[in-house]
Amino acid sequence: MSSAAAGMAPVPEPSPELLQRAAGVRRSAMALGQWSDAERRAAVQAMASALESDRHKILAANQADMETAAADGLTPALMARLKLDGAKLDAAISGVRQVAALADPLGRRQLHTELDQGLVLERLTVPLGVVGVIFEARPDAAIQIASLAIRSGNGAILKGGREASRSCAAIMAALRQGLAKGIPQTIPAPDPIADDLAVSNTSATKPLANNPLPPIPVAMDSAAGDLMAASALELLTSREESLALLKLDGLVDLIIPRGSNALVRYIQDNTRIPVLGHADGICHLYVDAAADLDQALRVAIDAKTQYPAACNAIETLLVHEQIAPSFLAMAIEAFGAAGVELRGDAAALALGVEHAASEEDWSSEYSDLVLAVKLVADLDAAIEHIGRYGSRHTDAICTTDDQAANRFLAAVDSAGVYLNCSTRFADGFRYGFGAEVGISTQTLPPRGPVGLEGLVTYRYRLRGEGHIAADYASGARQFSHRALPL
């Protein structure tokens, strides 16, 4: 679904076929939530092995997508995101293996309290259920999302952009094959009654599928098991399906859009399903008066040019006016050699920046080799600019002044706030999460790069021995609320 098309398209009702597939994902997700840590770990490892086995098919499919995209005049920024070469695929597979090795996110006890003798409360982490992910270009996103979903016991419904259709199909075929091979010996049986209930209860009526009938663990033959496991992952292929996904509240628990500002905002405005994501990636680097200029230049070059199409690349460079003459003399030459177009305010133009910046530049996500440059009077002015124009994604300061650093780190309200390092580190793999389902700029958690912890919720369990509330209301019994070991 392109963002341009989505902006004009009404959201259709989901078809019976889509409802059936979504119900299958939900049923499989319930099964996954009952798999042991070792079983889910093995399934993710099998997915990585399947990707390696289908490596040539995946790369060939991506090459075909690239050729079609070039003929269609896709922008350089989207072409960069679409490209899946051997190194990118290797990194993605490595990320899958890292996800498999992560600690189990499920069954973690967060709270353990004795309310009274024999009445014990605990809070445990559990899967969300089913996540729907809509992304533009970046076929490797499908790999990241699928591995995190299975590791955390969730099902996933994915829709890649039309430009990545062949790549996504090849990737999904490998992932489903690997997941089927990694299935445990005993899995929950399909429940046709729950399926029928789920299909008959969409957002057009009342959502009933939040709690379909629980599956019963039984031994199944290999073919049935393969089908059951593989249905935990679904790939949508049409624009109509991706739009209808937004109406699957009751079957889908979370929508994660990964793409343009227009795509994210359209999804946020057209679904009742919770949405996790960010609409803009307007990141800043502030070079303070006390910065090590050589270090700051190295950080700035990396933050802009290492992968300019990424949402964590800087779009605005703020420079303290005291060191601007020295720093910009270095920066103009270095950025010019890297092919970056600099657009500066009047003060930056006076120091040699070639192109004038407009008001629009301060709030633009270029996703390209373009960088806005502004001189500021002090740290407070830099913080004020970031607060006014930033997107609360990732912002950085270069300085050797501890007081300035601590003030910046405390005052800038972004998901990631960095000192003397590139904003390009805002990434789930680089954070050690193995992969990420997306990046959230919301203030409510999860925030920043979202890994396994963003795909779990919690459930309260209370165990008693015939306790009743009336005894406490009458004063016959008293709560102790004694904390127990986790």
User: Hey, what amino acid is at 355?
Assistant: H
The Cα angle at residue 475 between residues 473 and 477, in degrees rounded to 5: 100
**Pairing label, strands 155-159, 233-235:** parallel
Q: Phi/psi of residue 334, each to 5°? A: -70, -45
Burial 282-321 (b: 16+ CB within 10 A, else e): bbbbbbbbbbeeeebbebbbbbbbebbbbbbbbbbbbbbb
Per the prediction, the chain carries an average pLDDT of 89
Share of the chain above pLDDT 70, in %: 88
**Residue position matching structure tokens 């500066």:** 344
Give the max Cα distance, the chain: 82
Name the residue with tokens 């199409």: 309
- Topology given in CATH for the domain delimited by 3-276: Aldehyde Dehydrogenase; Chain A, domain 1 (3.40.605)
Domain ranges of the chain: 3-276, 283-425
Out of 127-141, 312-326, 335-349, pick the least confident: 127-141
pTM: 0.82
Tokens of 290: 């006390």
Whether the domain at 3-276 and the domain at 283-425 fall into the same CATH topology: no
| 443 Cα distance to chain centroid | 15
Query: CB 116: neighbour CB atoms within 10 A?
Result: 17
* Spatial CB neighbours of 178, under 8 Å, sequence gap ≥ 6: 43, 46, 47, 48, 49, 50, 51
What is residue 442's predicted lDDT score, i.e. its pLDDT? 87
Distance CA 409, CA 415 (A): 11
Give the architecture (CATH level 2) of 283-425.
3-Layer(aba) Sandwich (3.40)
**Under a CB-based contact definition with an 8 Å cutoff, are residues 396 and 299 in contact?**
yes
Q: Which helix (H) or strand (E) holds 178?
A: helix 165-181
For 65-74, how does the pLDDT look when each residue is reduced to its tens digit (9 = 90+)? 999 999 999 9
Query: Around Cβ 439, how many Cβ atoms within 10 Å?
Result: 25
Other beta carbons less than 10 A from residue 459's beta carbon:
9
Residues 170-201 as b/e (b if ≥16 CB within 10 A, e otherwise) read bbbbbbbbbbbbbbbeebbbbbeebbebbbeb
Tell how far CA 237 is from the center of its chain: 20
What is the DSSP secondary structure assignment for residue 14, as one 8-state letter? P
Please return the burial class of 78, using the count of CB atoms within 10 Å of its CB with bins 0-12, 13-18 and 19+. buried
- More confident position, 215 or 56: 56
Q: pLDDT tens digits for 87-143?
A: 999 999 999 999 999 999 999 999 999 999 999 999 999 999 999 999 988 899 999
CA distance 213 to 200: 14
At residue 230, the pLDDT reads 67
- Does residue 6 have a pLDDT over 80? no
Structure tokens at 352: 């040699």
DSSP labels, 200-241: T-STTS---TTSPPPP-EEE--HHHHHHHHHTTEEE--SHHH
Report which of residues 342 and 367 the model is more confident about: 342
